[in-house]
Structure 1
């Protein structure tokens, strides 16, 4: 049997879900033919509890570093990671998010792994001067980088610190649409399980309850329309530190019984068809997989026109609004709430068709496979 290339994916935290329709690290492994690639998934922090999901990789490694060990110089953690990689002799290491990228940038001066791929999931990772200087110093021909949207790729290139058009790629996030749809409950069943009225016009959102997700602006905009659309309800799936503040805002706005904070829900995508309109009022996003999840449920979308999401909203025929602009969110909600059921469903179908043509998981997989194959072919010959 031909010797297989050894591929490691390095994750900052254990985060494997029961279903992998939107787990893009798992989807990368699905792209790699097992007869040609040997796969390992490693997590710097955390490990699964009894009965929890594990990676589809042939092997999973849990370093279980503490928060303290991963701050500052990270000398002990870096030494353990160095010993592991040196022993295993990987051909490819894929680093998800800044911390793994940062650690491998330093370690690969000595490891000399033929191909390292750093994946950036958002903006701001290299805003600090010392991080840009480090990237400029350590990025070499063994490195390739991926931004999860064209906007994130451009952010990296514009930094001018080693990320170039030649070594930096935009591979837009995607979801496994077939798997996602198979998980979704029907409209009535989803509403019953969420405890939502069966006959209301429902505006939905999904995301952590933190300020950057913009839920307070959505609630304020919805409150301005509560009398015009007495049958409309707002529901947000997610948990976070802003829950008490948002609940207080709901009470002050007279939205008790009309705006619902549903808390954390396991496999939240299963409930997407409960809604009639899908919103994502974030102040910033790297891409925003929740936007694609709403489209998979055949829902019309309203979302902030941040650079990473604007092309998606426009492509889907949705309504783009400036971040934190309550008036614009109100107008967008008004536009969709005024439509009859048939017209609203037609807008949702337009979003779904865009999703299937531009964010299908197979293209995502093939682009990563091509990046890995071309990177290995271009690897310095003395290292391969």
Structure 2
């Protein structure tokens, strides 16, 4: 008689499947689970793919299509829908991404008696509120394991002192599929041509949503302070968001028109990474910051804020760490790299790439999740 496959649900707050999964860590977890032993289901509380949009590699995808209102407050309807679904499916493992799915499954676990639930924390602050810590402490039981996407996020969970312990909480550092990422990347010349950027300049780059926490305004101010010292340098930022108008106003105020380029949203933005000579990530806070790893995949020297989740990565890659929201320190770091020769910059970029290969490759990431699931089911 054929043994029943282990049934795994992965639960997300929003539909977020991309055409390329080099940095889609939910999809990478599914890749870790052998088809002959695991049956996989991907579920999304909000959203669904438009016609022709990519879908998960899971054996089946489910879209609850709940509204924002239904996912606020007590979430009675949302909890009932999730309870009915899980009760009917009888999952062996439920993997919850981010706070809302974790919180909902915490409330349902004792009713559903799921053998293993895994909550993945992607950043800081989710348990800062007292009532959330009190609820977690009351509801976390022996069926739960928790993953921080960096050692710093794991430590944040432990410091909350609300049920996260050394025995049920681990750090599994984020990773990217390096070979897939490299295959997507255009050459320096092709990338600059498609972005409409001068092929002859020294180009500082950044990638991320245009929101205050990403710290782009400090990057622009840092660049302004050295624009006359490095007249062949320019700055380009790929991304869109609510901060765009403020950033454009700052560019105009500082007289940087033509030297700073806000390139907007670009599909498959990683393909343009080799357009740049220096990669920056001036975030005020990060859980890990996949964009930092993406820059390393293009063999670029890196400058980033020394927030706890990113500091070990920057130091390991031989990059320059600066305090967040410190334009003066950021300007000094940029000046250091812009003063190097092309050969010296390439050497720094290769050092960052070697660190990425040795510490953040996708096969180790997959194996850690597979070991967590199989080891926990045996306990």
Same fold, judged at TM 0.5 (above): yes
Separation in structure 1 between the aligned mates of residue 106 and residue 78 of structure 2, nearest angstrom:
14
Separation in structure 2 between the aligned mates of residue 135 and residue 67 of structure 1, nearest angstrom:
23
In the alignment, which residue of structure 2 is the partner of 1:21?
22
Give runs of aligned pairs for residues 47-86 of structure 1, distance below 5 A: 47-86=48-87
Separation in structure 2 between the aligned mates of residue 363 and residue 206 of structure 1, nearest angstrom:
26
Instruction: Please say if 1:347 is aligned against 2:348.
Output: yes
In the alignment, which residue of structure 1 is the partner of 2:274?
273
In the alignment, which residue of structure 1 is the partner of 2:315?
314
The CA deviation at 1:240 is 0.3
In the alignment, which residue of structure 2 is the partner of 1:116?
117
Deviations 1:64-95 (A, max 9, x none): 00000000000011001000000000000000
The CA deviation at 1:261 is 0.1
Q: Helix, strand or coil for the counterpart of 2:300?
A: coil
The CA deviation at 1:2 is 1.9
Instruction: Please say if 1:93 is aligned against 2:112.
Output: no
Separation in structure 2 between the aligned mates of residue 82 and residue 300 of structure 1, nearest angstrom:
48
Q: Helix, strand or coil for the counterpart of 2:13?
A: strand
Separation in structure 1 between the aligned mates of residue 17 and residue 214 of structure 2, nearest angstrom:
23
Count of aligned pairs between the two proteins:
378
Q: Helix, strand or coil for the counterpart of 2:237?
A: strand
The CA deviation at 1:131 is 0.3
In the alignment, which residue of structure 1 is the partner of 2:287?
286
Q: Helix, strand or coil for the counterpart of 1:144?
A: strand
In the alignment, which residue of structure 1 is the partner of 2:361?
360
The TM-score normalised by the length of structure 2 is 0.99
The CA deviation at 1:285 is 0.1
In the alignment, which residue of structure 1 is the partner of 2:330?
329
Separation in structure 2 between the aligned mates of residue 289 and residue 114 of structure 1, nearest angstrom:
31
Separation in structure 1 between the aligned mates of residue 218 and residue 353 of structure 2, nearest angstrom:
26
In the alignment, which residue of structure 1 is the partner of 2:304?
303
Q: Helix, strand or coil for the counterpart of 2:27?
A: helix
The CA deviation at 1:246 is 0.3
Separation in structure 1 between the aligned mates of residue 190 and residue 131 of structure 2, nearest angstrom:
52
Separation in structure 1 between the aligned mates of residue 320 and residue 81 of structure 2, nearest angstrom:
49
Runs of 4+ in structure 1 over 3 Å off: none
Cα-Cα RMSD = 0.4
Separation in structure 2 between the aligned mates of residue 297 and residue 52 of structure 1, nearest angstrom:
27
Separation in structure 2 between the aligned mates of residue 260 and residue 5 of structure 1, nearest angstrom:
50
Deviations 1:283-326 (A, max 9, x none): 00000000000000000000000000000000000000000011
Deviations 1:157-176 (A, max 9, x none): 11111000000000000000
Separation in structure 2 between the aligned mates of residue 3 and residue 84 of structure 1, nearest angstrom:
19
Instruction: Please say if 1:187 is aligned against 2:188.
Output: yes
The CA deviation at 1:375 is 1.0
Instruction: Please say if 1:158 is aligned against 2:159.
Output: yes
The CA deviation at 1:109 is 1.4
Separation in structure 2 between the aligned mates of residue 337 and residue 254 of structure 1, nearest angstrom:
20
Separation in structure 2 between the aligned mates of residue 28 and residue 125 of structure 1, nearest angstrom:
23
Deviations 1:180-226 (A, max 9, x none): 00000000000000001000000000000000000000000000010
Separation in structure 1 between the aligned mates of residue 37 and residue 209 of structure 2, nearest angstrom:
39
Deviations 1:327-376 (A, max 9, x none): 10000000000000000000000000000000000000000000000111
Separation in structure 2 between the aligned mates of residue 109 and residue 78 of structure 1, nearest angstrom:
13
Q: Helix, strand or coil for the counterpart of 2:167?
A: coil
Q: Helix, strand or coil for the counterpart of 1:146?
A: strand
Deviations 1:140-159 (A, max 9, x none): 00000000000000000111
Deviations 1:244-278 (A, max 9, x none): 11011001111100000000000000000000000
In the alignment, which residue of structure 1 is the partner of 2:150?
149
Separation in structure 2 between the aligned mates of residue 293 and residue 321 of structure 1, nearest angstrom:
19
Q: Helix, strand or coil for the counterpart of 1:18?
A: coil
The unaligned stretches of length 5 or more in structure 2 are none
Separation in structure 2 between the aligned mates of residue 374 and residue 74 of structure 1, nearest angstrom:
33
Q: Helix, strand or coil for the counterpart of 1:64?
A: coil
Q: Helix, strand or coil for the counterpart of 2:20?
A: coil
In the alignment, which residue of structure 2 is the partner of 1:243?
244
The unaligned stretches of length 5 or more in structure 1 are 379-384
Instruction: Please say if 1:31 is aligned against 2:32.
Output: yes
